Chains A and B, each alone.
Chain A
Amino acid sequence: MKTNRMSLVLALLMVAGMVLAGCAQAPPATEAPPATYKIGFNSSATGTYATLGLPEAKTAEMIQEQINAAGGVVGPDGKKHEVEIIIYDDENEADKTVSNVTRLILEDEVIVVVSTTGSGTSIAEIPVCQENQTACISMASAKPVTSDSESGTEHKWMFKTPQTNGHAGAWQAAYLSAIGISKVCILHTDDGYGTDCLANFKAQAEAAGLEVVYEAGYAKTDTEFSAQMAGVEASGCEAVEIGSTPPVASLAAIAVRTAMPDMPITLGHGVCNQPFIDTAGAAAEGTVFPCGKVTVIDEVADDDPQKPVLEQYIADYTEFTDGESISTFGGHAWDAVMMAVEALSAVEDGASLEEQRAAVRDYLETKIVEWPGISGLFTFSASDHNGLGKDSLLFVKVVDGKGVAFPESEW
């Protein structure tokens, strides 16, 4: 009985306290605070693409912190709006990508979506973004992510920030022709990234007059490559192009080096993070590949318009993650999220969600011009939702365990 009465008194006191506190703090109550703008973010922070998706998710968290520390985004009304980034993980599984993006658009009612890490999974989300008329900015490189393979036109609501395998293939073909190669072999992972590498490397090589004499795939988890090496040796090619991400890219490079020590090896820009060089060891020496500038910051010229952005991102990310290594993938996320944040400045507070979403899309397509990002100088247009050229990549060669700039003059 006694305890009951005591708790009753306590509860009354608490209610009274809350009422009093509320009275003391009550503002003059004239208008609602500026709305919080929501960005949806989805990457493959776990699963087979975790090496790519995890730095992407961390970058998104970092940007959320930075924007709100600065008070938010200034809208057309001149007020600062807080930005909320809702972060999901799709484990690189297409069904989870679709359900995450659907949830972001329909339930979380975000204005713009940044999603996702893989090419295959990004392609899976296209219908969701198109039907719900919400701009989706992908961090995957394959061409079909933004462009319709039949008509060749860009999907209205799809954008992407990474350099494409077409840019990478163009560098490789140019290099191999320059050093006098005429027959090439292409090895690739049998996933979305690898097959896109194959298609683009092949197209670019043939356009440059090279003959592709052998092509073979392998699974991301493979560790034995003697079948591929027998094929490479028997085909008589003079250079090998590898389209994979580590760790299998490292194992494939080691296999080539073991079987054919003098074979020139070029790779795609999927290997531009330290794990490739760390896990391939001596086999990485002398390999060449195009890279996003963020991974080779010391090699970027001082007058490069991207340089200040790159240095700032590297400093911020290193501090935010307590010194984790910088990868090009986090950079793709930085570009996508920062573009989305900038586009939010075109969003009218109080407009309908449809209008807000359309405003963001139009901003992306028309106002992102010569926009210095991590992955390049972006210029979006109705016919180009990637907005990058071959010069967004820097061609590097591995020397003493480090990628160094390898400009055309040194070939």
Chain B
Amino acid sequence: MPRIPRSKLARIAAIIVLTVAITALVIGLGSRKNLQPKHYVQLILDGFRGGSIYALMALGYVTVYTVTGIINFAQGEFVMLGALISISVYNMPLPLPPAARLVVAVGSSILLTTLIGIIVERVAIYPARLSPTVTLIIITIGVTITLRASALLIWGADPYVLPAFSTLVLEDHIFRFGGVTLQAQSLWIWGTLAVVLVLLYVFLEHTITGKALRACAVNRRAAQLVGINPSRMSMLSFGLAAALGAIGGIVMGPVTRPIYDMGLMLGLRGFVAAILGGLVSAPGAVVGGLLLGVVENIAAGVTNPTYKSVVAFVIMIGILLLRPQGIIGRGETGGEQ
């Protein structure tokens, strides 16, 4: 392990040196592949798009982890359910114009997935709440397999299509400027992330329930002593995580082709993003997600894209070994009580 400089000045100097070194490496590798500035802009833009989805997923991990101490590996399946349920509802022959159908589809998908999250907590987690955390984590893996297998039975093995939000058909608007392309759906994804963050902030900071949830995250025993029911909060955290997952699945639906087994890799990437952010902080999760998306994309762009998934997991191992409190954490470790 490298010696970390003690003084603030040395630390800033180290960060600058590191940044310059990495930038030089990236540009060096990129020039060997003949990459131009517009390619970097494209890589960063698309990285932010993928990163926003990781951020939403990471928020789900953080919500459950801080309140219950559980790493909920079923988070990716909530994303899958959100996407597939919204598609099923959208394709129902409702006597509504397409835009209204989409709104109904989005609303009912979020509600249903939230309900599934709550049911999962009540059926699988609550009865085992007195077991060690490891047992509960293993249970979430069981939940993952159950949800994925159920999805295969319901939706079959074919990929589905959710129309782009702006055009309401499969083909999206594409903005082009100077050789860089941007799909209109990317704007929807960023907008959604922003709105979710604001709502989450208002909920956690300005409502009694939100404050109770935070109290539970800070110290479960103390929260119980002031009359907060931790079991209710655990249920709420799963519902919230499921809703966040569903929102992620829905907004990314038009840029992917949702399929029953999409949750696994997404879930793992979201987990890496949460780890980057230290697992206990919501802003950390968002920064972690965005950073992962961009770093992954640039690394893939300047090296061989085949290794894209490798990048994410190398980052995860590196962070867990060197900075388990996350890159923007202030040194506090896990929410375990």
Q: A interface vs B, CB < 8 Å?
A: 46-48, 50-51, 53-54, 190, 216-219, 221-231, 233-235, 246-247, 250-251, 258-259, 275, 278-279, 281-283
Interface string of B299-310 (1 = CB under 8 A from A): 011001110110
A-B contact pairs, 17 of them (CB 8 A): A47-B261, A50-B156, A50-B261, A51-B157, A217-B304, A221-B264, A222-B309, A227-B301, A227-B308, A228-B300, A231-B33, A234-B36, A234-B39, A258-B174, A259-B42, A275-B159, A281-B169
* Complex Cα gap A224–B169 (Å): 20
CB–CB A221/B156 < 8 A: no
Within the assembled complex, what's the spacing in Å between the Cα atoms of A223 and B51?
12
Q: For residue A51, which residue of chain B has the nearest CB?
A: B157
Which of B225-233, B234-242, B249-257 binds A? B249-257
- B140 adjacent to chain A (CB < 8 Å): no
Shortest Cβ distance from B303 into chain A, in angstroms? Answer: 9
Let me know if B205 is at the binding interface, CB within 8 A: no
User: What's the nearest-Cβ distance from chain A to residue B51, in Å?
Assistant: 10
B256 cross-chain contacts in A, Cβ below 8 A: 223, 247, 251
Chain A neighbourhood of B33, CB < 8 A:
230-231, 234-235
User: Are B181 and A281 in touch, CB under 8 angstroms?
Assistant: no
Is B327 part of the contact surface with A, judged by Cβ < 8 Å? no
Bound: A167/B306 CA distance, A: 25
Contact between A250 and B183, CB atoms less than 8 A apart: no
Q: Across the two chains, which residue of chain B brings its CB closest to A260? A: B181
Q: Does B46 contact A (CB under 8 A)?
A: yes
Whether B257 lies near A216 (C-beta < 8 A) is no
A258-B174, A258-B183 in contact; A230/B43 too (CB < 8 A)?
yes
**A283 surroundings in chain B (CB, below 8 A):** 171
Residue of B nearest to A259 (CB): B181
Chain B positions within 8 Å of A217 at CB level: 304-306
Whether A221 contacts B262 in the complex (CB less than 8 A), given A46-B157, A251-B257, A282-B171, comes out as: yes
A227's partner among B36, B255, B257, B297 (CB-CB below 8 A) is B297
- Which of A226, A258, A259: most chain B Cβ within 10 A? A226
Least Cβ–Cβ distance between B305 and chain A, in angstroms: 4
Min CB distance A277 to B, Å, is 11
The answer to whether A224 and B161 have CB atoms under 8 Å apart is: no
Contacts of B304 in A (CB 8 A): 216-217
User: Does B259 belong to the interface (CB within 8 Å)?
Assistant: yes
Tell me the smallest distance from the CB of B296 to a CB of chain A, in Å.
Answer: 8
Tell me if B100 is interfacial: C-beta within 8 Å of chain A: no
Contact B49 A219 (CB under 8 A): no
CB distance from A52 to the nearest CB of B (A): 9
User: With A46-B152, A46-B157 known to touch, is A223 a contact of B261 (CB < 8 Å)?
Assistant: no
Query: Chain B residues with Cβ under 8 A from A51's Cβ?
Result: 157-159
- Name A278's contact: one of B49, B161, B262, B309 (CB within 8 Å): B161
A178 to chain B, nearest CB (A): 28
Q: Is B47 among interface residues, defined by CB-CB distance under 8 A?
A: yes
A54–B156 CA distance with the chains assembled, in angstroms:
9
The answer to the question of B170 belonging to the interface, with a C-beta cut-off of 8 Å to chain A, is yes
Query: Is B35 in contact with chain A by the CB < 8 A criterion?
Result: yes
Known: A217-B305, A221-B264. 7 other contacts (CB 8 A): A47-B261, A223-B255, A226-B47, A230-B43, A246-B159, A247-B256, A258-B174
Check B309–A219 contact: CB distance below 8 A.
yes
Contact A216–B306 (Cβ < 8 Å): yes
CB distance from B249 to the nearest CB of A (A): 12
Considering the complex, give the chain A residue whose CB is closest to the CB of B252: A223
Residues on A with C-beta less than 8 A from B159 are: 51, 246-247, 250, 275, 279
Q: For A259, what are the chain B residues with a Cβ–Cβ distance below 8 Å?
A: 42, 181
Q: How far is the CB of B197 from chain A (nearest CB, A)?
A: 22
By beta carbon, the residue of chain B nearest A214 is B33
**B259 in contact with A230 (CB, 8 Å):** no
